């Protein structure tokens, strides 16, 4: 399985994603610049956190027009795994690959801390190594992390089991339905505000994010092999 980590101007978690996959999981992973126009040969794509294009206009709003994004959409349409964390989640919603939007935190402040989550759906290719309703802890670091959608979209997300992670115990940003991460209807595109790539090594005090990548590699290899 070959994985691409997209690098946008302003990305600052691309290295975290790369090292989580390469150094910790031993995956075959490359950096791919946002100006590239092909993802040929890649079996999965990762959109990192950070501040793509300085978050001008709106977080993720300019990145959606990057030259690489038609290829990201192509992989998603082909059923290949597409993952976005934090700013990557914002880009996925702006690009229409996931429903809804991420708006300013209710507090109007940047929030950076470790927060409890509930694994709501463990039947995705990204969460199969978790238990349903398992409580985990992952870091968050965002100012525009409050998930918003109209009621019809929220009802559809809940009915189709597209809510993958939910904030537990407290809601740090005002996300509707305590949503921390969602997937598309097919289950191959996942966006989440928390950073699993920052919780993959015991030396950092937390490995609760590691199973996102182990799940992806386990299931994605099957997808890549057809």
Contact 160, 102 (CB under 8 A): no
Strand order in the sheet with 163-167: 28-33, 2-7, 44-47, 82-85, 189-192, 179-183, 163-167, 111-119, 135-142
Catalytic residue flag (residue 197): yes
Taking the C-alpha atoms of residue 42 and residue 28, their distance in angstroms, rounded to an integer, is: 10
Give me the phi and psi of 93, to 5 degrees please: -75, -40
Taking the C-alpha atoms of residue 37 and residue 172, their distance in angstroms, rounded to an integer, is: 37
Instruction: Give me the sign of the Cα torsion angle 160, 219, 37, 48.
Output: positive
Cα–Cα distances in angstroms (integers) from residue 163 to residues 71, 160, 182, in the given order: 25, 8, 5
Structure tokens at 27: 């995956």
Catalytic residue among 13, 34, 118, 195: 195
Taking the C-alpha atoms of residue 172 and residue 180, their distance in angstroms, rounded to an integer, is: 10
Catalytic residue among 71, 94, 118, 197: 197
Catalytic residue among 86, 94, 118, 183: 86
Contact 84, 72 (CB under 8 A): no
The single-letter DSSP state of residue 131 is P
Cα–Cα distances in angstroms (integers) from residue 164 to residues 42, 67, 85, 182, 214, in the given order: 25, 29, 13, 5, 16
Catalytic residue flag (residue 133): no
Residue positions annotated with a catalytic role: 86, 195, 197
């Amino acid at each position: 399985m070959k994985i691409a980590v997209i690098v946008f101007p302003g990305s600052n978690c691309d290295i975290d994603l790369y090292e989580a996959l390469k150094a910790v999981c031993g995956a075959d992973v490359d950096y791919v610049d946002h100006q590239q126009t092909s993802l040929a040969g890649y079996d999965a794509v990762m959109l990192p956190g950070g501040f793509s294009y300085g978050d001008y206009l709106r977080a993720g709003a300019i990145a959606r027009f990057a030259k690489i994004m038609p290829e990201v959409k192509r992989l998603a349409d082909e059923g290949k795994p597409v993952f976005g964390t934090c700013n990557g989640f914002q880009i996925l919603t702006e690009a229409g690959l996931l429903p809804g939007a991420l708006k300013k935190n209710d507090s109007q402040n940047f929030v950076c801390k470790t927060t409890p989550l509930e694994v709501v759906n463990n039947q995705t290719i990204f969460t199969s190594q978790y238990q349903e309703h398992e409580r985990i802890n992952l870091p968050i670091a965002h100012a525009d992390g409050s998930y918003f959608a109209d009621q019809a979209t929220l009802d559809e997300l809940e009915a189709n089991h597209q809510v993958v992670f939910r904030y537990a115990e407290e809601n740090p940003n005002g996300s509707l339905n305590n949503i921390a991460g969602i997937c598309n209807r097919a289950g191959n595109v996942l966006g989440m505000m928390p950073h699993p790539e920052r919780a993959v090594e015991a030396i950092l005090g937390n490995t609760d994010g590691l199973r996102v990548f182990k799940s992806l590699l386990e299931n994605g290899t099957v997808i890549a092999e057809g």
